[in-house]
Amino acid sequence: MSEIGIVLLAAGEASRFGSAKQATLIDGVPLVHRVAREAVQTGATVTVVLGAHRDAIEPLLDGLDVSLAFNPQWHEGLGGSIALGVQQLTQQHPGLSAVMLCLADQALIDAYDLQLLIDAHRLDPEFIIAASFAGVLGPPCLFPRGDIDALMKLSGPQGARVLLQRHAERVRALPMPHAAIDIDTPDDLAHLLR
């Protein structure tokens, strides 16, 4: 069976939230633990990229079968965190057939959603599979082996959306309403908890 790697991005400062949103409790479970647990349940290999709030977030992942990567340049943006996570994942697991990118603040994403991406990849292994929600394509998204080098070259604030645009002809959209919910502000959290 092809081996899938998941990079869970949890390095940001969460400046609009005002504190380490990755540690925010939802149903008593820290957000980062919740998303990491769902990723692990797919059977994929999971690397979590930490940065701004490393000391607060790292203990929240205890007991989960994940590896950790620390991005000391987290403040330079998402691109560097993606590159670092993919690099570590592929060094540890050189036989990966694809890498999925997930965000730690997508509170409703579950193992079923992530498995849908993996299943779509197995049907179309050359295609990029991206969640589709509210008329946009975005994370979680899965990139086949041929795109791994491009992911490792990302830098600055530019995330993987640039690759979705550059290779639009081979992006498959997968409807995923849960992907529309991300926690950026205290209001977002209050709305979710309601």
Q: What is the pLDDT along the chain (194 residues), one digit of tens a residue?
A: 459 999 999 988 755 655 677 778 888 888 899 999 999 999 999 999 999 889 989 999 999 999 999 999 998 989 999 999 999 999 999 999 999 999 988 888 999 999 999 999 999 999 999 999 888 899 999 999 999 999 999 998 888 989 999 999 999 999 998 887 776 666 666 666 66
For the chain, what is the radius of gyration of the CA atoms? 15
SS3 of residue 129 by DSSP: strand
Task: State the Cα–Cα distance between residues 57 and 76, nearest whole angstrom.
Answer: 19
Q: Please report which residue ranges of 11-110 form alpha helices under DSSP H.
A: 31-41, 54-57, 78-92
Per-domain boundaries in the chain: 3-193
**Which residue's structure tokens are 């205890």?**
62
Query: How far is 41 from 57, CA to CA, in rounded Å?
Result: 20
Q: Please return the burial class of 159, using the count of CB atoms within 10 Å of its CB with bins 0-12, 13-18 and 19+.
A: buried
CATH classification code of 3-193: 3.90.550.10
Tell me the C-alpha distance between 82 and 66, whole Å: 16
Q: Which residues contact 115 (CB under 8 A, 6 or more apart)?
A: 42
Geometric angle at alpha carbon 28, from 4 and 10, rounded to 5°: 40
- pTM of the entire predicted model: 0.92
- Upper half-sphere CA count for residue 179 (Cβ side, 13 Å): 25
CB 36 within 8 A of CB 8: yes
